[in-house]
Amino acid sequence: MSYIVIKNKKGTVEKLPPSGYTSWLDFWERQKGQRAYQCKTIPCDGPADVGGHVIKSGEGGKEYILPLCYECNNKPDDTSFYARESDLVSVQ
């Protein structure tokens, strides 16, 4: 299993989830068809507190949702994290 580098996307605090979803974490769970229990950055064993907005390093601004703990979600935007590509849900 190889990991990719992701970062928090800037300026997404006010962004509302798509119509019909109660939160970005709800969006992630229903797109994936599974519950989110743990923060999906590696290595972090924090809880899945929010559906965080992230970008792949080097890919530009394309936005994905990933379950994050508050601690990871609140790190500075230039902090690099590792994650599994298969855990990312694209935001259209």
Q: Binding residues for Zn ion, per CB under 5 A?
A: 39, 41, 44, 46, 69, 72
Closest distance between Zn ion and the C-beta of residue 70, in Å?
Answer: 8
Residue 32 or 75 having the CB closest to Zn ion:
75
Task: Report whether 51 contacts 24 (CB < 8 A).
Answer: yes
Closest distance between Zn ion and the C-beta of residue 90, in Å?
Answer: 21
Per-state percent for the chain, helix, strand, coil, to nearest 5: 15, 25, 55
Within its chain, how far is the Cα of 42 from the centroid?
Answer: 12
Residue 23 or 38 having the CB closest to Zn ion:
38
Closest distance between Zn ion and the C-beta of residue 2, in Å?
Answer: 20
Angstrom distances, CA of residue 58 to CA of 7, 51, 52, 55, 79: 10, 21, 18, 9, 13
